[in-house]
Amino acid sequence: MSDAEKPQSKSKKNEPKSSFKKVSAFLVGLIVVVVFAGSGFSYWLAKNFTRSWVLTQEKVVIIPQGSGVATIAQLLEKEGVINNALVFRIVLRFNQLDKQLKAGEYLFPARVTPKQVTRILEEGKTVLHRFTVAEGLTSVEVVAQLNAQDGLNGQVTHIPPEGSLLPETYSYHRGMARAAVLSHMQETMIKTLDELWENRQEGLPFKTKEEALILASIVEKETGIRAERALVAGVFINRLKKRMRLQTDPTVVYGITMGQESLGRPLSRKDLKTPTPYNTYTNYGLPPGPICNPGRASIEAVLNPGQTDALYFVADGTGGHAFAKTLVEHNRNVAQWRKIERSRD
């Protein structure tokens, strides 16, 4: 081998090392690029998930039962709650949260982030609806209103016993059964009656919670003024103790309608003499059952009536009542009331 050929031979000998260095440098560079790109993507992903928002005002969205993460993500994007369903799904799967989301009706606040959306769905913070039962309604009326209430499932087909439903405001989630709401009303009445019964006055002219409920339903129908309830209850307590007939118009009405409908007209003298088990003009003592669903205040009034010597009361023309100790005084109050009625005709 000549001297001229030696350098050429050395150069060829070093070619693999040079190629290796180039490949290594390329791979290192590629790794650096991938790392930086990955870091950038992770940063963008985290920023998008924790800080970005698209919702400018609160919005209600219903997530159907059985919805998977893909369906939920697409629905949220469609409703404008999130801006990227794919990113939402990726983050959920990466954090193993895609199986934790709950169906239901949700209220998402304005400026809510995807992370906050996830927490809301994970915790199942669904919208609470409210249904108010007014005091003094019959069970037929309560069931009719419950069956017309939006967002509940199933119809109530049976009418619960009169007086078994506590007038109150009840909360429910969309999709809850109407029968469950009705059962809750009954349970609440039982609990309330038990609680108030334990703190009743001594010497009351009735022995059972059921009798207290009957009288409370009469008080409920006689006055809508909270301050009067204890006084009205006191009058009925006095009459029961003296074995006087209660002579209360609402019992006559209930005896005619049985709580199925409104009477739709004033009571007549004939009505007052019509014999029904509920007519307290013809029967002594309490009627056989409640005439409506009384509220807590009326039950309290009956169990802790106001101290009064009054035996009579009549409307006074202002929405309240005029009370009297004697029949003579009561007749004067009645005459005054009739005068007011005539002036309105």
One domain for residues 111 and 210: no
Residue 301, H or E segment: helix 296-303
pLDDT, position 275: 94
Of residues 104, 103, 51, 105, the one with CA closest to residue 82: 51
Residue at token pair 């990466």: 94
One domain for residues 118 and 195: no
108 contacts 58 by C-beta, under 8 angstroms: yes
Examine residue 48 and state whether it is found in any structural domain, yes or no.
no
Measured at the CA of 66, the angle between CA 62 and CA 70, to 5 degrees, comes to 80
Going residue by residue through the chain, which has 345 residues, state the pLDDT in tens, using 9 for 90 and above.
445 555 555 555 555 555 555 555 454 444 544 444 444 445 555 555 566 678 899 999 999 988 999 999 999 999 999 988 888 888 888 777 777 889 999 999 999 998 899 899 999 989 999 999 999 999 999 999 999 999 999 999 999 999 999 999 999 999 999 999 999 999 999 999 999 999 999 999 999 999 999 999 999 999 989 999 999 999 999 999 999 999 999 999 999 999 998 899 999 999 999 999 999 999 999 999 999 999 999 999 999 999 999 999 999 888 899 999 999 999 999 999 888 878 876
Examine residue 279 and state whether it is found in any structural domain, yes or no.
yes
- Residue 233 β-bridge partners: none
pLDDT, position 12: 54
One domain for residues 223 and 115: no
One domain for residues 214 and 303: yes
First to last CA, the chain: 140
295 contacts 136 by C-beta, under 8 angstroms: yes
What is the amino acid identity at position 93? Answer: R
Considering 123, 145, 177, which residue would you say is the last residue of a domain? Answer: 123
- Residue 107: alpha-carbon gap to chain centroid: 16
Helices 69-78 and 85-94: crossing angle, nearest 10°?
140
pLDDT, position 29: 47
Considering 84, 107, 123, which residue would you say is the last residue of a domain? Answer: 123
Q: How far apart are CA 298 and CA 304, in angstroms?
A: 10
One domain for residues 106 and 203: no
What number of other Cβ atoms are within 10 A of residue 225's Cβ?
Answer: 13
What is the chain's length? 345
197 contacts 303 by C-beta, under 8 angstroms: yes
Q: How far apart are CA 288 and CA 277, in angstroms?
A: 7
Examine residue 46 and state whether it is found in any structural domain, yes or no.
no
* Main-chain phi, psi angles of 132, to 5 degrees: -105, 125
Domain that holds residue 246: 191-308
Q: How far apart are CA 298 and CA 92, in angstroms?
A: 53
- For residue 70, what is the domain's CATH number? 3.30.1490.480
Contacts of 91 (CB under 8 A, 6+ apart): 45, 49, 97, 114, 118
Structural domain count, the chain: 2
Q: What is the DSSP letter of 184?
A: H
